[in-house]
Chains A and B, each alone.
Chain A
């Protein structure tokens, strides 16, 4: 059972609000995406913490600076700031709660944060990245490796030609904006946001000595999944980093049904808790 206590983790002038479940010496930090809160969409991070706690792990969920209940300016958050927050949280877990191995689970940009933090945490375990996005500097390359936009466009056009779609459009019920945003693929915001999403470090180069597993989960309906999967699988292979990839059929970026959410969490538990305990 998940029994969490609220805590404040201090980093510089900022106070990060966190929820800790004190379990065994192995811990998991669950990382939200760019705009997210520490419970995540459909509470996926809370649910994952609950499932991992049942396996005896210590779990920590926290709000990044400028997000959720933490202090900080919401409009100046950066990838490097999120990484620093994560390293501070891992250090706090180690120093205050005796956690000797910390795993990171990140959703969307939280996966990028996990990659960035992994090389900065001495007691690092495994990484599980859900809907991992390519780092900003690799976006163009990943897009070339992924589903061609023409193919996506073709799919949308096919739907657009269906009579029922036109009926919905006439009733004003269709989410045209959402479809257009998906096609435009500019979910990264304006120039300032893109700059803040770019690390000053070479995150992948810094992972040269990483000796944990890197597990990936993607939804097959996530427009960015194919490119990101191809990019990171190739990189993982070149680096000799072990790990698995799981594709959830039909799922979009946030796995927003109860069934998809449960699948993502069950897979994560299997990788982090069940397999590790069998290894041990």
Chain B
């Protein structure tokens, strides 16, 4: 989806959604934030990568390379329309392919980033199995199935291999949404590794929209995102 401001854009924003069910849960929050960014003067593109959301294809048919091409195509699409300073916003595991794609935005806002593909995939699969063992019998789940979607073995391995190790280039911001304003331990370590001068952090008290059962208004969240992305 492309969101354009009323006048000439002062910034272009590529917003990479989370993966799997977190994408679906966060969809409305991203829409609200994209509209707020457009109202503040940004041209915003929120792509559905191949095999996700409303895009064609399935995760069984693609490889990581497909997503990287999608991200470059999305960036090129935005740049062709407006060559103004760019901001890359990634939510949750969206950061992993975005960093791998090597995009070079002026500003990079990492919103509650997932740091490791391997631990993330394991966490998603384990969470389901534990839930099933408490509330019902464990269902048959394929070895490369993640939250109801089959991945090819190659693609699964490629996602597992992704991690946020080196600091990406650009003006780095890390936005954390949690039930308090204490930076999570994993992010404290990340900032220490990258250097405190390299990344600016902000913690806001907000429910994790990537786990939302029913969407809300997200006005405060959108305001914080506009500040971090454009100011």
Query: Which residues of chain A have a CB within 8 Å of any CB of chain B?
Result: 2, 4, 17, 19, 34-44, 46-47, 61, 66-69, 73-75, 156, 159, 164-165, 168, 173-176, 178-179, 182, 187, 189, 193, 221, 250-252, 255-261
Contacts and interface: CB of A to CB of B under 8 A. Distances in A.
Contacts of A47: 58
A165 B138 CA distance: 13
B214 A4 contact: no
Interface stretch (B73-81, B102-110, B146-154): B146-154
16 contacts: A34-B214, A41-B24, A43-B52, A67-B215, A159-B134, A165-B133, A175-B131, A176-B134, A179-B135, A182-B135, A189-B214, A221-B137, A250-B137, A252-B135, A257-B141, A258-B150
Interface of B: 1, 21, 24, 27-28, 31-32, 52-54, 56, 58, 126-128, 130-131, 133-137, 139-142, 145, 147-150, 212-218
Contacts of B133: 159, 164-165, 168
Contacts of A261: 148
Given A74-B216, A261-B148, A179 B28 contact: no
A259 to B, nearest CB: 6
Given A74-B217, A75-B216, A258-B148, A4 B140 contact: no
B35 to A, nearest CB: 9
Nearest to B29: A74
Contact of B145 (A37, A175, A257): A257
Contact of B148 (A4, A42, A178): A42
A177 to B, nearest CB: 10
In the complex, which of the residues A2, A43, A73, A260 has the most CB atoms of chain B within 10 Å of its own CB atom? A43
A173 B24 contact: no
Contacts of B54: 4, 19, 38-39, 46, 61
Given A35-B214, A258-B145, A251 B139 contact: yes
Contacts of A256: 128, 147-148
